[in-house]
A and B are shown apart, each in its own frame.
Chain A
Amino acid sequence: GNSVTQMEGPVTLSEEAFLTINCTYTATGYPSLFWYVQYPGEGLQLLLKATKADDKGSNKGFEATYRKETTSFHLEKGSVQVSDSAVYFCALSGLTGGGNKLTFGTGTQLKVEL
């Protein structure tokens, strides 16, 4: 079946540091890949997505590239801010026995300090 593995947190960084959150996946066929973000006390919001190999999703300074050869979709940001503190979820959307559903990773908490 489909699965997503992402690095465990919490990840603690100083403001303006470089961020990488690793995400790898297992899936049959050609899944779409997503990063969602959850701020404290809120639901999830789509941060970025990529629907085919070598696509790069980007938003708010975050980027991730769909790498089929390494089955990865790592999230990066060049300079994090305190306001980026949140939980980040990697997810894939692909056909399963129950139809086209999202499979989430376990989430990575990011804490950015001044």
Chain B
Amino acid sequence: EADIYQTPRYLVIGTGKKITLECSQTMGHDKMYWYQQDPGMELHLIHYSYGVNSTEKGDLSSESTVSRIRTEHFPLTLESARPSHTSQYLCASSEYRLAGGEEQFFGPGTRLTVL
């Protein structure tokens, strides 16, 4: 079954730790995205990728970094976590369509709490 997975679902960690949030999809989509969702529910695009070895920063500045070495995998890394990084992180993917109307498929999210 084609799907998009995120691990861990919940993470509580201390300040200064390095963390990696995993995202994988089995749909063969070229495009992948990371969103940060604040407690007020608003979604902010922080990173996206249009294919292997392609990564771009999104609309909201983030101290995190991403990599895209394989089509199906798009991990997000924080080198030194801080309480301000506490948030819900959502990963998504989509298939390129020249005519537009691209549907994004979302993972279940990782809820990160930095103490």
- A and B found bound together: yes
Q: Which residues of A contact B (CB under 8 A)?
A: 30-32, 34, 36, 38, 41-46, 49, 51, 87, 89, 93-95, 98-102, 104, 106-107, 109
Do the beta carbons of A43 and B90 come within 8 Å of each other? yes
Query: A99-B50, A107-B42 are contacts. A43–B108 as well, Cβ < 8 Å?
Result: yes
Mostly, the B contact residues are loop
CA distance A11 to B56 in the complex (A): 36
Interface, chain B (partner A; CB < 8 A): 6, 33, 40-43, 45, 48, 50, 56, 90, 92, 97, 99-109
From known contacts A43-B109, A46-B103, infer whether A106 and B56 are also in contact, taking CB-CB under 8 Å: no
The reply to whether A32 and B41 form a contact with Cβ atoms under 8 Å apart is no
Q: CA of A109 to CA of B41 in the docked complex: distance in angstroms? A: 9
* Nearest-neighbor residue (CB-CB) of A104 within chain B: B43
* Chain B residues within 8 Å of A44, by CB: 90, 92, 104, 106
| Chain A facing B: main interface SS | strand
| Cross-interface CB contact of B106 among A41, A45, A101, A106, cutoff 8 Å | A45
Give me 7 other A-B pairs in contact (C-beta within 8 A), A38-B41, A101-B33, A106-B42 excluded. Answer: A32-B100, A32-B102, A44-B92, A51-B100, A101-B48, A107-B41, A109-B41
